[in-house]
Structure 1
Amino acid sequence: KVSYDLKKQDLESSIADFKWRYHNYPVNQMFGTHSMVPAFLINQHSISNVKEAKDYISRLNGVPTVFDQLVTDLETRANKGIIAPKFVFPHVIDSSKNIIQGAPFEKGDDSTLLADFK
């Protein structure tokens, strides 16, 4: 009964909050899709055999879709006037650049993801 009541309350809250679903910043200086994707791969997706390596590659191949969806979400928010404060942008740009720094994106040491994969 307690579990039922808690779930009911959770669902009712979700329904009531639905109108506010775009009132957040999915990319910001503290967290966001841009940093959660590589963090998931590095911290949660271990590679100890060929199957896990192929699964990792499969997830990497899905990243463009995730970011296309993120762009759509950000455009929806922008059209509603919901945009992160200006001070957030340099932090997000820096953290995003850190992810694509190094091989195979540019010459130099392996990027964080490539090093993790290896």
Structure 2
Amino acid sequence: MKRYFSTLLAAVLVLFASAAYADRLDDIKKAGVLKVASFDSNPPFGFVDEKTKQITGLDVDFAQAVADKIGVKLEVHPTNPANRIPLLTSGQVDLVVANFTVTPERAEQVDFSIPYFASGQQFIAKKGF
């Protein structure tokens, strides 16, 4: 888990550190907040904690590590598969940290980090079926 976290953090920071993103990173630092979109109903990646009513989960932990690394506060916005790209491309959020299948069509609209989690489709059937 620690290796995946380090890999994700490095990939995100490379995106922020590149020349094309230098102005955006400066804007985030100046504002003092990193606005991140994350799922609020996809445990364990992102879900609403019943006690705190805050979005939490693995993706939020990754986002918090990025915010900590660049020295800003984290602001988490709920997202879903339909609105995550529009939230990012419209500038409402700075980063989307949510499970996302990389496709050529999506890559035309957004830049992806390296994947930090991989899963395949599976079928489940009654034993002996």
**More strand per residue:** 2
Q: Which has the higher helix share?
A: 1
Structure number with greater Rg is 1
| TM-score (normalised: structure 2) | 0.21
| Structure-1-length-normalised TM-score | 0.23
